[in-house]
């Protein structure tokens, strides 16, 4: 498959995942994953969910950052895309596992650099780190392959 077709396909897939995860996490009662609980006099007591939806927020931000970097890669040389893809294919699964096993609420903190150990803080940290490394890698490879 041509690398531009591969990027276009990835844009569609990576673009759909954040949209779906946002819709499911914001409107779980419309989808049927949650229902409202009322007391005996009809007052709203809260919401009961079949599954914990807190894992969807990290997916939203990771795929959103990935989507943003796939757009300029479409217009660059194949070598730039291939080096970025190699980085993304090992970075994203590792981070997804870290986020999956991190606590949903803040505990003692997993990292000594000032980032809390909760899922939200780690999501922002790893998304920013992914963006920074991607930007450096894309610029470096673009300059290196400019004359070729």
Residue listed under structure tokens 């041509």: 2
* Structure-token pair, residue 123: 């999501």
Q: What is the dihedral of CA 64, 50, 99, 22, to 10 degrees?
A: 10
**pLDDT value at 30 more than 70:** yes
Alpha carbons 76 and 138: distance in angstroms, whole number: 9
Mean per-residue pLDDT for 115-144? 85
Name the domain count of the chain: 1
Per-chain mean pLDDT for the chain:
78
Q: What is the pLDDT of residues 3-27, one digit of tens each?
A: 788 888 877 777 787 777 777 777 7
Mean per-residue pLDDT for 118-138? 87
| pLDDT at site 69 | 81
Mean per-residue pLDDT for 34-53? 73
Q: Cα-atom radius of gyration of the chain, to the nearest Å?
A: 19
- Comparing 37-51, 58-72, 108-122, 129-143, which segment has the lowest mean pLDDT? 108-122
Mean per-residue pLDDT for 40-56? 71
Query: In which domain, by residue range, is 40 found?
Result: 3-144
The end-to-end CA distance of the chain, in Å, is: 22
Q: What is the pLDDT of residues 68-96, one digit of tens each?
A: 888 888 888 888 888 988 998 899 889 88
* Structure-token pair, residue 76: 């660059």
Which DSSP category does 1 fall into? -
Mean per-residue pLDDT for 113-135? 79
| pLDDT at site 133 | 94
**pLDDT value at 35 more than 70:** yes
């Amino acid at each position: 498959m041509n690398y531009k077709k591969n990027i276009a396909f990835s844009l569609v897939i990576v673009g759909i995942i954040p949209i779906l995860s946002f819709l499911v996490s914001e409107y779980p009662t419309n989808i049927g994953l949650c229902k409202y609980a009322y007391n005996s006099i009809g007052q709203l007591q809260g919401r009961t969910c079949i599954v914990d939806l807190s894992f969807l927020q990290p997916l939203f931000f990771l795929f959103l950052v990935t989507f943003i970097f796939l757009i300029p890669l479409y217009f660059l040389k194949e070598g730039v895309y291939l080096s970025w893809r190699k980085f993304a294919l090992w970075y994203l699964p590792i981070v997804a596992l870290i986020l999956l096993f991190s606590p949903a609420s803040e505990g003692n903190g997993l990292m000594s650099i000032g980032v809390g150990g909760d899922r939200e803080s780690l999501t922002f940290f790893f998304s920013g780190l992914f963006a920074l490394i991607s930007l450096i890698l894309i610029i470096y490879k673009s300059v290196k392959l400019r004359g070729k």
